[in-house]
Amino acid sequence: MIIEELRAIQKKHGYLPVEELRGLSQRTQSPLYQLQGVASFFPHFRLAPPPPVEVLACIDMSCHLQDADGLRRGVETRVAQFGPTGVVIRPTSCLGQCDRAPAAAINDTICAGLTAESLYTHVEAAASGRAPRHARVEASAARLIADPYTSGPRYAAARRLIAGGDVAEALAALKASGLRGMGGAGFATSLKWELVKNAPGNEKYVVCNADESEPGTIKDRFIMEHAPHLVIEGMMLAQIVTGARQGILYIRHEYEGQREILERELEHCRQGGLLGQKLPGSDHSLDISIFVSPGGYICGEESALLEALEGKRAEPRNKPPFPVTSGLHNKPTVINNVETFAYVPSILANGADWFKAQGRSGFAGLKFVGVSGHVARPGIYEVPMGTSIRTVIFDHAGGISGGRALKAFAPSGPSSGFLPASAADVALDFRALDQAGSMLGSGAIVVCAEGTCMLDMALNAQAFFQRESCGKCVPCRVGSAKMVDLLVDIVHGQGRPEHLALIDELSHAMGQASICGLGQFAPKPILSVLRHFRSEVEDHLLRNRCPSGVCAGPDAQ
């Protein structure tokens, strides 16, 4: 496992010394250039010693809405004036703390809910050798509708299948429930599992994608904190149904607390005879391990994730073939995200009809949503599918902070683009949001109050996609950079009317020719702003003014 070896080296030295890479090359018979190529690809790896204090301040959507840029600049100025020395402050992509924004990683420790004063205090503490405390991790047993184990022993659905339950019946229940992938694509879960089950060969894999790295996406973090048993049982059930002996839970490296919770739950399963070779009273052998990602939003793309598991640069594969036939190590592989796996135990325990009945207004099932941005109570909420966005924002999340009016929202982070306040009655549902010109995606609702410049938000989202492009394909690599350049010009009052035609042309090329969803969806933020807030763009472009007063002056992003 090349990446695990690299992680071990960096944990020991703080970076990856060339001598250690040479030693790893000899041990693994891997060319040194290949190891350096892998190490240089992932943002968590360092090829040079880090500074005494490294502050990586999140600059993406939710933190941006909480003035993360001003916070970072203020602390930079204070450090320059008063010290301590040896402090380097850099912007970074989303840290998965959107409900606790703004956030930063200080010497790899995640700190959230920051103010200028608290961030500076953390910097001073790190400079004196005192490690800051990680952002809080809630491991309490919250009462979730999706959890069938309010009483009695857990893992009942898995125990039944291990003891010889009907796999065909389990697949039929999943199909009847209509459960779809909750990571963004919405592919039918039962069909994916059935394809892997029926694929030839004895070596198969089940992979849980817990690498939620898109701005606003935090609900998988919550599920792993509050219901790790449901995630693990969902993976077990997938293994039993498909015949896969090996399960791998791929988690982002910023989720250290969540990894510890999952490790404890896995050990509990091993001790309870649910994981291991030749499980008691059964011919099944099941194992689940945790793989910690070395970073990068692109790893959330399923084939890029597989490349990382194989110790390669996380560059998306060309499709077909698809993972259901040619996945990890070219073997049939189920890949679902945390939320999808977590629903399976309740469907098999309570029945498909029960799960479907949890929806409202004719929609079926449940949905976890993460709400961040300009709301009074940012957080993660479990709601019936079909609930309106307005209900989520105003009833669950407490409405708009500061008593302001709702201006816009992204239903699922930057990939979904923005919808105006007038669309807030749209239902949380795959088809309803698609018809509204957006998507349900992962359920990452980012809320913008009146006073927000939507062109500034589009630029922030576009800059995220540019940073996170793996660079494999030209449409995404060049197109995302050019799109940022165009938006920067418009924001700074240097745009020209022909820029809009070029944005349309770039968007079409990226959508049609990019290898994976990152490039295909990267133009969505600016296209949605042009559709719903075009007058704001024209104010910047034709009148050289920002109607919200956000982009005026030389400090504009």
DSSP 51: P
Q: 209 has which bridge partners?
A: 250, 337
The two three-digit tokens of residue 156, written as one number: 């009942």
Residue 395's pLDDT is 98
Residue 94's pLDDT is 97
Residue 280's pLDDT is 85
Residue 555's pLDDT is 42
Instruction: Match 């409202």 to its residue by tokens.
Output: 360
Q: In whole angstroms, how far apart are CA 364 and each of 177, 360, 441, 547?
A: 8, 7, 16, 41
Gap between the Cα atoms of 37 and 22, Å rounded: 13
Residue 249's pLDDT is 98
Q: Could you tell me the pTM of the whole model? A: 0.95
CB 56 within 8 A of CB 104: yes
Q: Where are the beta strands (DSSP E) in 179-332?
A: 205-210, 246-251, 287-292
Instruction: Match 């402050």 to its residue by tokens.
Output: 89
Residue 136's pLDDT is 65
Which residues, 6 or more positions from 477, have their beta carbon under 8 angstroms from its beta carbon? 469, 471
Residues 167-222 have pLDDT tens digits of 999 999 999 999 999 988 889 999 999 999 999 999 999 999 999 999 999 999 99
Backbone angles phi, psi at 105, to 5 degrees: -105, 120
Give the CA-trace dihedral at 323, 341, 409, 113, to 10 degrees.
-110
Three-state secondary-structure class, residue 238: helix
Domains annotated on the chain, with CATH: 2-41 (no CATH), 53-127 (3.40.30.10), 156-354 (3.40.50.11540), 358-449 (3.10.20.600), 454-542 (1.20.1440.230)
Give me the count of residues in the chain. Answer: 557
Residue 1's pLDDT is 83
Per-residue pLDDT of the chain (557 residues; tens, 9 = 90+): 899 999 999 999 999 999 999 999 999 999 999 999 999 999 999 999 999 999 999 999 999 999 999 999 999 999 999 999 999 999 999 999 999 999 999 999 999 999 999 999 999 999 999 877 766 666 555 689 999 998 879 999 999 999 999 999 999 999 999 999 998 888 999 999 999 999 999 999 999 999 999 999 999 999 999 999 999 999 999 999 999 999 999 999 999 999 999 999 999 999 999 999 999 888 899 999 999 999 999 999 999 999 999 999 999 999 999 999 999 999 999 999 999 999 999 999 999 999 999 999 999 999 999 999 999 999 999 999 999 999 999 999 999 999 999 999 999 999 999 999 999 999 999 999 999 999 999 999 999 999 999 999 999 999 999 999 999 999 999 999 999 999 999 999 899 999 999 999 999 999 999 999 999 999 999 999 999 999 999 999 999 999 999 996 444 44
The two three-digit tokens of residue 81, written as one number: 């004036």
Backbone angles phi, psi at 136, to 5 degrees: -60, 145
CB 15 within 8 A of CB 48: yes
Residue 134's pLDDT is 67
The two three-digit tokens of residue 434, written as one number: 């698609």
**Closest listed residue to residue 174, CA positions, set 193, 148, 196, 157:** 193
Gap between the Cα atoms of 153 and 165, Å rounded: 18
Q: Checking DSSP bridges between strand 444-449 and strand 87-92, what pairing results, if any?
A: unpaired
Residue 138's pLDDT is 60
Residues 462-518 have pLDDT tens digits of 999 999 999 999 999 999 999 999 999 999 989 999 999 999 999 999 999 999 999
